Amino acid sequence: MNISCFIRPGSGIPFACILGAAFFPAACRKAGPPPPPPPAEVQVIKVQPADVPIYREWVGTLDGTTNAVIRPQVTGYLQKVVYDEGSFVKKGQLLFEIDDRPFVAAVDQAKAALVEAEARFKKTEIDVNRLRPLAATQAVSQQELDDAIQSNAAARGGVDGAKATLEKARLDLGFTRITAPIDGIAGIAKGQIGDLVSQASGELATLSAVDPIRVYFSASEQEYLNAIALVQTRASADAAAGSLSGADTDDLVRKLHIELELILGDGATYPQKGVFRFADREVSVGTGAIRIAGEFPNPGHILRPGMFCRVRARTHVEKGVVVVPQRAILELQGSYQVLVLGDDNKAVVRPVKTGERVAGGWIIRDGLKPGETVIVEGVQRARAGGPLHATPYEEKKAPAPPKA
């Protein structure tokens, strides 16, 4: 169409209006649909069956394998504290000294009493030897001889008593030097120089043997019975089961070398492995738990009595189970589900039944088949139902602690 035919010359219509009218139909056309969004990025794993060790943990307390309480055996004034508090001491090392002057005097007195008793005994022995032939010829009466014999016997007893008194005085003198009865860490001294100490005054210090160090923890009666059943099953499967079948339960556990792990208060795992030592003789009526003891090497004496820890032990191995990371599992009103990547690259909700929590995540008892792909990262994006772009899951490592 020729637009100029509709415009009269001299009508005064601006050229811009004419141009706008010419292109107005094109400007009013509808825009096309927007392009689809790109597929959401997710990270996935392909589940495969594996043999997974199952561990149990208990709260434990560390203690010395031997704890020696140092108490004075004699009464006297504390003269010296010889050892360094908190240090390692050897058996026989001097720890305390009590003023020994009264005890030295007691030894000297006992020695003098022994000399006197021995002299009395010799005198009575001479009397018996002198009167015996005289009594045979009736030069003296039999009564005199009998009295001499009795005096000799009494003198012999006096010698024995004097020897015992001297030995007791020497022992008391030795008790003024208090030495370490074991190798171990010596605690803070509870007696100060100048204190009057005695058997009734209480302990002076405590020594603890800490290498190896002992850990005590309590297991429920059910846990104890389950562990014993597993131990007996393992012993039966062992090549040496014939020699172990009649062994005591504690001895059986020790021979099977069941390892323990120690998790310290700061969350770090102690590098040395421990061993089972024994179970207590009874189950507590009040708590229904039995006390278990284990031992760990402690060459650097880092572990000290009284420290709290967690004890971990492998109870059994789950054969051919599926494990998925914790972050892949969704909890909804007490039930659990995961998102499985379907053939169309879209997420499918799958209800699952979970088992024990393990280091790699959660054991899935039911709901997943080997070879299926589970979404781990990007779960919220995947739930929208759109197409997904999947890449292998990479577990994020914790950042390294800053250097001091």
**Is residue 108 over pLDDT 50?**
yes
> Between these two residues, 11 and 365, which has the higher pLDDT value?
365
Architecture, CATH, for domain 65-207: Beta Barrel (2.40)
The pLDDT score that the predictor gives to residue 92 is 94
For the residues 187-196, what does the mean pLDDT come to?
93
**Is residue 147 over pLDDT 80?**
yes
Architecture, CATH, for domain 42-52+320-392: Beta Barrel (2.40)
Using alpha carbons, select from 319, 382, 329, 318 the residue that is nearest to residue 352: 329
For the residues 261-283, what does the mean pLDDT come to?
92
**Is residue 118 over pLDDT 60?**
yes
The pLDDT score that the predictor gives to residue 5 is 43
Categorize the per-residue pLDDT at 226 as very low, low, confident or very high, splitting at 50, 70 and 90: confident
Question: pLDDT tens digits, residue range 15-57?
Answer: 444 444 444 454 455 566 777 778 888 888 898 998 888 888 9
Give start-end residues of each CATH 2.40.50.100 domain in the chain. Answer: 65-207
CATH topology of domain 56-64+212-318: Elongation Factor Tu (Ef-tu); domain 3 (2.40.30)
Give start-end residues of each CATH 2.40.420.20 domain in the chain. Answer: 42-52+320-392
